[in-house]
Structure 1
Amino acid sequence: MATIVSRRTTIGLLAAWAILPTRIAKARTGQLFYLNAYGNKAGFGVAGFDAAGRIRYSLALPGRGHSFARSRDIAVAFSRRPGDYAVVFAAQDGKERHRIAAAEDRSFCGHGAFTADGRLMFATEVVGSTGEGVLGIYDATLGFRRIGEYPTHGLDPHEIRLMPDGRTLAVANGGILMLADMPRLKLNIPDMDPSLVYLDAATGRLIRQVRPAQDLRQLSIRHIAIDRRGRVAIAMQYEGPETDAVPLVAWHGGPEDRDGLRFLPMPPEQRAGLRQYCGSAAMAGAGRLLAVTSPRGNRMLLWDMEAGRYLAAAEMPDICGVAAQADGAGFIVSNGLGRIAACSDGAVLTALNDAGGQRWDNHMMAVSV
């Protein structure tokens, strides 16, 4: 699949790199809100709540939401794959700004990321007729018009992050073949091809592609988080037998790292307790602490990335949403039963709010406004 993006866009991206550090610093000041998609008896939406778990606003969505992209005072909520919409809204009050429809023969995969200057947004998408992964490119200065796409060099792209260098995109290719006429049917489980890819944000050039070993090809690479060294933590879902003792959490050193995945240690009972499924990943402690949640396993696991050491586990039914606390000491988490809690001092969970009939969806994002 050809890379499609205009020369003018490429020149504009390259010109922006020189001023990114200042703009990034400004975007990280202000009041911190947390975003989480939800479902309830009335339908679907996204809520913004504060560090105490108090809901400040909600915005109705046309269907089930998944995760978000953010830039300064705006955020974008993506529909669950195969998704047909994305909604742009003000992060401070939840007012809708734009609604983006999926392009022809494309569907959203639930995640996106902005360039550091906020001008362009990349959304993970899949080509419905072939199952190939692409990044849709949207210009925020033109009302989020879709101006092109990059191939992700894999199937089933899911989470995407902008690396700390401000120039490189990290993309998790889940490696599962699904087509538009059979949207939830997994067609290639014996021959999956998951990978972590690094792409040049300005040109779409493939910088590096990292795959699990062949005997671990059924580890679907789905969620990523970046530590303070610029290493990428990877949370996976295993599509093989539930009795297989496979590693589920790994890290890679970034686009210059020529080695493969390194798996993080965890006690055997905790690995088994994840039930082959990691639902979300986040960093706290200035990028030192890694949290990985498992709604199927009803638990969250913590690691010290500096030491490469497993720390502890916290249990909570149907836990999945996770984001760093404002002070960086721990995490805010949510679950499918409507609960919001704080996790600090090891793995102690402190309840903040219980929204009753609100079913919090998979991902939480912290936004500074």
Structure 2
Amino acid sequence: MTRRTDTGRRRFLGGLIAAGVIPRPTWADAGSPAYLAAGGRPDGSYLLCGIGADLSVRFELPLPARGHAAAAHPSRPQAVAFARRPGTFALVIDCASGRILSTLASPEGRHFYGHGAYSQAGDLLYTTENDFTTGTGRIGVWDVTAGYVRVGEIASGGIGPHDIRRLPGSDTLVVANGGIDTHPDSGRAKLNIPTMAPNLTYIEAERIVEQAALPKALHKNSIRHLAVGPQGEVALGMQWQGEEPVDALVGLHRRGSEITLFDAPAEAVDRMQGYIGSVACSADGATIAVTSPRGGMVQFYDTATMALTRSEALEDVCGIAPAAQGFTVTTGTGTLRCLRDTAGARASAALMWDNHLVAL
């Protein structure tokens, strides 16, 4: 179900088409959403939704299975909806018409990890993948202008690449290699915890140009999700695979330096239950916000002091993205909420929101 524009706009577009001038659709044609999120209904059906800055649902498009995250084209109203890992398909959807433009299938011996990123011009799509025959990470390369045809793949620089982002104003990619080996025959089982080695990998022109790793004592801290600040700083959320307590689950990286971990009291780290579900950076880069659905908690960190500043409890919270003021979050219980310093606007929907909220 999509919500269409008014009659005057349709007449205007019709006049352009009659004159032989066909405008390229933009996100305004899909209701000008501020976010994308996957969700599920109580009847077991699944959807990709566009959400406005006012927390209204601008469109609802059906998905054949549970989604994880989406990648939004930088200018056209197109989104790639990825299946929950270890998925082998992704759908390219025209969010203005609701039409499925293409179905991406991972090559034999690969599975997707649920995330992707477009190039700056939107002519290429990059997908995080697992080569489960060798246990190594790959980045699939798809030609958007040719109809999302796969044209190659490159090394991710590690094992288990999960999230991938593009640095602002460039085609430099940063990949979260979580370090965990998986295989479809084993479902979501983690096969190499004793030897895992997560890292951040930067890729330019399909070449690895920089890598950053955690201290050896934290090699079981799987780097899973990323957010990129306005100056290209990379915030990382981690998921602890060890049995003993961990000191930090959130970090920050600036190119040319080591990964720096944010400071928080031990009890605050414990509340996250070893699991960061999503991470977001404020528009000015001053605040990093992270969620834990297991802990039912949102935490806020100051990038100047590298310290925890605030926590807020919210049941089954996971999706998070920056808002004009504060951050917008989604929960598995159906809540959409804008979290601010003093109060929060709240809305509910008859949807159980999945892992991620993608800002447009």
Q: 2:327 aligns with which of 328, 331, 336?
A: 331
1:246 aligns with 2:247: yes
The structure, 1 or 2, with the larger RCO (C-alpha pairs under 8 Å, 6+ apart) is: 1
1:351 aligns with 2:346: yes
**1:25-64 equivalent positions in 2, closer than 5 A:** 31-40=32-41, 41-64=43-66
Amino acid at match of 1:301: Q
**Normalising to structure 2: TM-score of the pair?**
0.87
1:107 aligns with 2:120: no
Q: CA deviation at 1:37?
A: 0.6
Cα distance in 2 for partners of 1:67, 1:48 equals: 13
1:89-131 CA distances to partner (integer Å, 9 max, x unpaired)? 2344544322212222111100000110000000001112222
**Gap runs ≥5 in structure 2:** 1-25
Bigger CA radius of gyration? 2
2:224 is matched with which residue? 222
1:188-239 CA distances to partner (integer Å, 9 max, x unpaired)? 1111111111111x2x211111111111100000011112222111100000
Q: CA deviation at 1:334?
A: 0.5
Larger mean Cα displacement after TM superposition, 303-312 or 138-147: 303-312
1:268 is matched with which residue? 266
Q: How many residues align?
A: 330
1:208 is matched with which residue? 210
Q: CA deviation at 1:144?
A: 0.2
Q: CA deviation at 1:287?
A: 2.8
Check conservation: 1:173, 1:197, Cα contact below 8 A.
Answer: yes
Q: 2:83 aligns with which of 79, 84, 87?
A: 79
1:266-317 CA distances to partner (integer Å, 9 max, x unpaired)? 2322111000100001112333221111101101111222443422111110
**Normalising to structure 1: TM-score of the pair?**
0.85
**Gap runs ≥5 in structure 1:** 1-25
Cα distance in 2 for partners of 1:93, 1:337 equals: 28
Check conservation: 1:48, 1:94, Cα contact below 8 A.
Answer: no
1:146 aligns with 2:144: no
2:16 is matched with which residue? none
Amino acid at match of 1:248: L
Q: CA deviation at 1:60?
A: 1.3
Identity %: 37
Distance 1:311 1:91, change over 3 A: farther
Check conservation: 2:55, 2:336, Cα contact below 8 A.
Answer: yes
- What RMSD in Å do the two structures reach over aligned CA positions? 1.9
Amino acid at match of 1:206: I
1:31-89 CA distances to partner (integer Å, 9 max, x unpaired)? 34321111222322211121222222211112111111112122111111111111112
Q: 1:235 aligns with which of 229, 234, 237?
A: 237
Amino acid at match of 2:358: M
Check conservation: 1:227, 1:305, Cα contact below 8 A.
Answer: no
**1:15-34 equivalent positions in 2, closer than 5 A:** 31-34=32-35
Check conservation: 1:295, 1:319, Cα contact below 8 A.
Answer: yes
Check conservation: 2:230, 2:283, Cα contact below 8 A.
Answer: no
Cα distance in 2 for partners of 1:349, 1:273 equals: 22
Amino acid at match of 1:333: V
